[in-house]
């Protein structure tokens, strides 16, 4: 066990190959690495710390494709999966490292952790390259009072993690001003068998506008939400959950909306592969009670209904790019015509060398706006978005192409004038 713990603390260190300000002095025959990061990567930092490889700008020029993906952990940190995909001379020589950061880790600690683990993973590939004779491994012993893995042996919080946040803002001009305050509290406890998450949040905003006629218009919006999620693992593919919550929203005409929704989830792939791919189906049935601030278009001030929802979602992070899609349908059991269908999809694909395609789209078919106020909305309320408006659909699309060409190397870091003030 101690040997294994020591191995986790090893870090790869390069004897000077080139001056830090001349990274292109790395021999051209050095290992070429393409970084494909789907998480908080500080690429400038990595290029400064790992100077014993050539960072390739395009996957097709690389000897090694480094794919990094992340997932949230129960302790509020992040779990990182580093996939080393061999190319060219390293074809079919793949590897994988999994590690985690803590919620309390600073940005500097996280980027240092990522750099160390990348260095460790590169060791087996560098050992077969021209710089092998100029590399060595170093070991930092664990501090006194810590376990070999560097984690406290006793957890006084029993895996519970709490977060409290509060914020406010104020802006003013000659003819308008606005103020907003918000706060939230979250408690989570996550193990392999159970997931418990409770959250309370609220926000309130006010605005003032002076029109050309001299009339002063005031607006107020507020929303308060509380939720509780309890999930029980039923193996590698199944989970049983309970999702409950309540909210109050001035825009959506709710004095109170409360939900009690048990559900069942099935993942086609094992949950342990969720950082790379997921294909999930979720079915929920919900008891919903609503009290409205104003009488609705259905002449209701309060009602209790039973609804259901079915969701199918797919997500994949692969060397060729990323893809994600979610299809959700919901309806009320006593009136199936009151329903909603949501479709969201996005992808990023490497088409050819240097050419990337980005596509994101969403569409909602809406037939369940039960909370719409019978009195409608005034012109001021429409312009200030103080009330929800009737609609039969909501849609949007984004398409982007990026083409990069030029030098195949990507080693130089130069941050000068990154903080320039003027933006034309």
Average pLDDT over residues 127-138: 80
Give yes or no for a contact between 304 and 288, defined as CB atoms under 8 angstroms apart.
Answer: yes
244 within domain boundaries:
no
CA-to-CA dists, residue 124 to 120, 137, 276, 422, angstroms: 8, 12, 23, 47
Average pLDDT over residues 107-132: 86
Comparison of pLDDT for 74 and 65, the residue scoring more: 65
Tell the burial category of 379 from Cβ atoms under 10 Å away from its Cβ (0-12, 13-18, 19+).
Answer: exposed
204 within domain boundaries:
no
pLDDT of amino acid 88: 85
pLDDT of amino acid 143: 66
Total residues found in the chain within this entry? 424
DSSP state of 319: T
Q: How far apart are CA 98 and CA 117, in angstroms?
A: 9
Give yes or no for a contact between 409 and 56, defined as CB atoms under 8 angstroms apart.
Answer: yes
- In SS3 terms, 254-271 reads as EEEEEEEEEEEEEECCCH
Q: What is the DSSP string of 1-68?
A: -HHHHHHHHEEEEEPP-S-TT-GGGS-TTSPEEEEEEES---HHHHHHH--SSEEBSSGGG-SEEEEE
pLDDT of amino acid 5: 40
Q: How far apart are CA 366 and CA 245, in angstroms?
A: 22
Q: Out of 104, 139, 174, pick the residue that ends a domain.
A: 139
pLDDT > 50? residue 270: yes
pLDDT of amino acid 298: 86
pLDDT of amino acid 412: 62
Q: How far apart are CA 304 and CA 306, in angstroms?
A: 7
DSSP state of 108: H
Q: How far apart are CA 33 and CA 409, in angstroms?
A: 10
Q: Out of 139, 164, 191, pick the residue that ends a domain.
A: 139
DSSP state of 237: S
pLDDT of amino acid 17: 41
Q: How far apart are CA 30 and CA 56, in angstroms?
A: 11
52 within domain boundaries:
yes
Q: Out of 120, 139, 158, pick the residue that ends a domain.
A: 139
**32-35 LR contacts (CB < 8 Å, sep 24+):** 32/56, 32/61, 32/62, 32/63, 32/64, 33/62, 33/63, 33/64, 33/66, 33/122, 34/58, 34/59, 34/61, 34/62, 34/64, 34/65, 34/66, 35/66, 35/68
Q: How far apart are CA 124 and CA 102, in angstroms?
A: 27
Q: How confident is the model at residue 14 (pLDDT cuts 50, 70, 90)?
A: very low
> Model-level pTM greater than 0.85?
no
Q: What's the order of all strands across the beta sheet hosting 321-332?
A: 160-172, 176-190, 194-210, 216-233, 238-249, 254-267, 277-292, 302-318, 321-332, 335-352, 355-366, 393-403
Q: How far apart are CA 264 and CA 282, in angstroms?
A: 6
Q: How confident is the model at residue 89 (pLDDT cuts 50, 70, 90)?
A: confident
Q: How many CA atoms lie within 13 A of 356 on its CB side?
A: 15
Q: Name the nearest CA neighbour of 111 among 62, 146, 76, 68.
A: 68
pLDDT of amino acid 361: 95
Number of domains in the chain: 2
Domain of 133 in residue numbering reads as: 2-139
**DSSP-based three-state secondary structure for 279:** strand
Give yes or no for a contact between 107 and 95, defined as CB atoms under 8 angstroms apart.
Answer: no
Average pLDDT over residues 31-54: 86
**What count of other Cβ atoms lies within 10 Å of the Cβ of residue 17?**
16
pLDDT of amino acid 381: 56
Q: Find the range with the poorest average confidence among 148-152, 254-258, 329-333.
A: 148-152
174 within domain boundaries:
no
261 within domain boundaries:
no
DSSP state of 193: S
Average pLDDT over residues 198-204: 96
What CATH number has the domain bearing residue 84? 3.40.50
Q: How confident is the model at residue 6 (pLDDT cuts 50, 70, 90)?
A: very low
Give yes or no for a contact between 353 and 60, defined as CB atoms under 8 angstroms apart.
Answer: yes
Paired tokens of 243: 């999702």
Q: How confident is the model at residue 174 (pLDDT cuts 50, 70, 90)?
A: confident
Q: How confident is the model at residue 4 (pLDDT cuts 50, 70, 90)?
A: very low
| 393 beta partners | 365
364 within domain boundaries:
yes
356 within domain boundaries:
yes
Q: Name the nearest CA neighbour of 56 among 37, 36, 34.
A: 34
Counting residues of the chain whose pLDDT is more than 70, the rounded percentage is 82
360 within domain boundaries:
yes
Give yes or no for a contact between 181 and 167, defined as CB atoms under 8 angstroms apart.
Answer: yes
Give yes or no for a contact between 123 and 95, defined as CB atoms under 8 angstroms apart.
Answer: no
Average pLDDT, the chain: 82
pLDDT > 80? residue 411: no
Give yes or no for a contact between 56 and 410, defined as CB atoms under 8 angstroms apart.
Answer: yes
Q: Find the range with the poorest average confidence among 5-19, 57-71, 278-292.
A: 5-19
The sign one gets for the Cα dihedral 320, 28, 407, 43 is positive
């Amino acid at each position: 066990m101690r040997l294994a713990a020591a191995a986790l603390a090893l870090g790869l260190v390069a004897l000077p190959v080139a001056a830090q300000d001349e990274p292109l002095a790395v021999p051209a025959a050095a290992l070429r690495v393409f970084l494909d990061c789907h998480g908080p990567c500080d690429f400038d930092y990595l290029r400064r710390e790992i100077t014993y490889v050539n960072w390739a700008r395009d996957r097709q020029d690389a000897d090694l494709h480094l794919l990094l993906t992340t997932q949230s952990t129960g302790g509020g940190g992040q779990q990182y999966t580093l996939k080393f995909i061999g190319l060219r001379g390293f074809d079919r020589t793949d590897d994988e490292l999994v590690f985690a950061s803590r919620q309390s880790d600073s940005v500097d600690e996280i980027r240092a952790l990522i750099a160390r683990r990348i260095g460790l993973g590169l060791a087996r590939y560098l050992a077969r390259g021209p710089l092998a004779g100029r590399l060595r491994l170093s070991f930092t012993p664990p501090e006194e009072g810590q376990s070999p893995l560097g984690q406290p042996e006793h957890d006084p919080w029993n895996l519970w993690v709490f977060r409290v946040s509060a914020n406010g803002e104020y802006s003013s001009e000659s003819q308008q001003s606005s103020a907003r305050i918000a706060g939230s509290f979250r408690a989570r406890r996550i193990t392999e068998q159970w997931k418990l998450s409770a959250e309370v949040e609220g926000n309130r905003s006010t605005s003032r506008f002076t029109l050309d006629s001299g009339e002063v218009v005031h607006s107020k919006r507020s929303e308060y939400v509380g939720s509780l999620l309890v999930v029980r693992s039923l193996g590698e593919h199944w989970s049983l959950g309970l999702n409950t919550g309540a909210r109050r929203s001035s825009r959506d005409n709710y004095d109170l909306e409360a939900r009690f929704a048990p559900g069942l989830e099935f993942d086609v792939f094992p949950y342990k592969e969720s950082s790379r791919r997921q294909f999930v189906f979720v079915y929920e049935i919900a008891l919903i009670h609503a009290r409205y601030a104003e009488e609705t278009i259905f002449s209701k001030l309060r009602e209790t209904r039973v609804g259901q929802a079915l969701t199918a979602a797919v997500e994949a992070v692969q060397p060729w790019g990323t893809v994600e899609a979610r299809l959700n349908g919901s309806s009320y059991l006593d009136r199936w015509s009151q329903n909603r269908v949501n479709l969201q999809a996005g992808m990023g694909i490497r088409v050819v060398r240097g050419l990337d395609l980005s596509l994101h789209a969403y569409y909602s078919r809406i037939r369940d706006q039960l909370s719409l106020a019978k009195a409608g909305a005034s012109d001021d309320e429409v312009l200030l978005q103080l009330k929800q408006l009737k609609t039969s659909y909501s849609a949007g699309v984004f398409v982007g192409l990026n083409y990069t060409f030029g030098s195949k190397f990507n080693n130089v870091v130069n941050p000068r004038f990154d903080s320039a003030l003027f933006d034309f």
